[in-house]
Amino acid sequence: MNQNIGLYGEKKAGEYLINNGYEVLHTNFNFNRKEIDIIVQKDQFLIAVEVKTRSQNSIIEPWQAVNKRKQQNIIEAMNAYVKTNKKNLSVRFDVISIVIKEDKCVYNHIKDAFYPTF
């Protein structure tokens, strides 16, 4: 994956979230080498957002790259964020899938994309 397209996608996702009423609390939160791209708050939800960006030539949809291992890493990092910041909100895990087509971004915001399993 080209790092530049990933950074571009995270920037565009942040703008998309702000334009849709989300408050960005943190970007690129790291815990033990596990990362959350964007942490936002909306209403009574604290939301970990994983951003996946691809060009229009990609064989798979960007969201398909969020496998079980990636999900578990995000969940662990979010647990650390909640404990560190003492947030008393419901937690949600979203994925924003971005496909770049002719210099335009096509967004697919998947709310509740995955859940913690015990």
Residue 34 lies in a domain: yes
Residue with tokens 């909640």: 82
pLDDT in tens, 68-116: 999 999 999 999 999 999 888 999 999 999 998 888 999 999 999 999 8
- Number of structural domains (the chain) is 1
Residue 117 lies in a domain: no
Residue 43 lies in a domain: yes
Write out the residue range of the structural domain in which residue 47 sits.
Answer: 3-110
> What whole-number distance in Å separates Cα of residue 40 and Cα of residue 49?
8
> What whole-number distance in Å separates Cα of residue 41 and Cα of residue 30?
18
- The total of other beta-carbon atoms located within 10 Å of residue 105's CB is 16
Kindly report the CATH number assigned to the domain that includes residue 76. 3.40.1350.10
Which pLDDT belongs to residue 61?
Answer: 78
Q: Kind and range of the H or E element at 98?
A: strand 90-101
pLDDT in tens, 20-46: 999 999 999 999 999 999 999 999 999
> What whole-number distance in Å separates Cα of residue 38 and Cα of residue 73?
14
Residue 80 lies in a domain: yes
Residue 118 lies in a domain: no
Residue 115 lies in a domain: no
